[in-house]
Amino acid sequence: MTRGPLLVALDIDGTLITYDEELSDEVREAVAAVRDAGHHVVLSTGRSVVATVPIARELGLETGYAVTSNGAVTVRVDPGHPGGFAVDDVVTFDPGPALRLLGEQLPDARFAVEEIGVGFRINTPFPEGELGGAHEVVPFEALWEREVTRVVVRSPEHTRSAFHEMVAHLGLDDVTYAVGWTAWMDIAPLGVSKATALERVRRILHVQPDRTVALGDGHNDVEMLTWAARGVAMGHAADAVKDCADEVTGSVEEDGAAQVLRSLL
């Protein structure tokens, strides 16, 4: 196997931290050990930039790349820049067709479009704590007045299974989307995923393909787990996610991420 630093791609929610926003000392110390060993630790998340940088700081990742917004926004964490990051790459799309279609099918849903480094424009308030950054409430039609990196759809009135079934029959063929643990959906530009952004970062860092590791728990991690030479699913992940991984570790409550990270040392 080729030697040299690893590129270690880490999902955040449900992987490094619990859904109650708790980060264990075990995981924190394991991330630091991998970083100190000279490997590239890259946070790879559906979170916006403004919700990712604080986690990077908490983990001691003061510099380096981070993939955010499910691959649509890649940044370099840098405390010398305003906000603690510099935008490295952005992929946008016209959200209008998807939003109009979803608006017809889900008239009571909450919709948001990302404003990089700021927060979100929303048509109605989301449940508290679900979206990071500043929020600006605008008319629904204003959400597609310009291209964006990401659309979030939240339908608290639906169960996850009912929401997933409804979305699957909508025919969203011109975007990439992933349904989360709740009645929540992220929409990204067509063909964009965590994996596409990570492949770009891998080439920039001159890391060989066989020196890539990825760890995640959600449906938006599937492409990333398949991309990595060693893709690891969390123990609590859905079977569809586990099936795409090379191996399965413990759950987030069991500090499964720390188990994998320690194995890299």
Q: Tens digit of pLDDT for each residue in 83-130?
A: 899 999 999 999 998 899 888 888 888 999 999 999 999 999 988 888
Yes or no: say if 163 and 124 are a contact pair by the CB < 8 Å rule: no
Q: What SS3 state is found at 188? A: strand
Burial class from Cβ neighbours inside 10 Å (0-12, 13-18, 19+) for residue 207 reads buried
Alpha carbon separation from 32 to 78, 166, 179, 193, 256 (Å, rounded): 17, 42, 31, 26, 16
| pLDDT score of 7 | 98
Q: What is the pTM of this model?
A: 0.90
Cα 147 to Cα 130: distance, rounded to the nearest angstrom: 23
Share of the chain above pLDDT 90, in %: 71
pLDDT digits (tens, 9 = 90+) for 22-65: 999 999 999 999 999 999 999 999 999 999 999 999 999 999 99
Residue 141 tokens read as: 């039609």
Cα 14 to Cα 50: distance, rounded to the nearest angstrom: 18
The contacts of residue 260 (CB under 8 Å, 6+ apart) are: 213, 215, 232, 249
DSSP classification of residue 219: G
Lowest mean pLDDT among 117-131, 221-235, 249-263: 117-131
Lowest mean pLDDT among 161-165, 167-171, 179-183, 210-214: 179-183
Q: Which residue has 């728990």 as its token pair? A: 217
At residue 173, does pLDDT exceed 70?
no
| pLDDT score of 101 | 86
Lowest mean pLDDT among 15-29, 145-159, 187-201: 145-159
- Mean local confidence (pLDDT), 202-225: 96
Q: What is the mean pLDDT of the chain?
A: 90
Yes or no: say if 249 and 214 are a contact pair by the CB < 8 Å rule: no
> 98 or 166: whose pLDDT is higher?
98
Q: Where are the domains of the chain?
A: 7-90+192-263, 96-189
**Number of Cβ atoms within 10 Å of the Cβ of 243:** 12
Cα 178 to Cα 222: distance, rounded to the nearest angstrom: 10
Yes or no: say if 91 and 82 are a contact pair by the CB < 8 Å rule: no
At residue 252, does pLDDT exceed 70?
yes
| pLDDT score of 128 | 81
* Closest to 165 in 3D by CA, of 105, 75, 217, 210: 105
Class at the top of the CATH hierarchy for domain 7-90+192-263: alpha beta
Cα 48 to Cα 118: distance, rounded to the nearest angstrom: 9
CATH architecture of 96-189: 2-Layer Sandwich (3.30)
At residue 160, does pLDDT exceed 80?
no
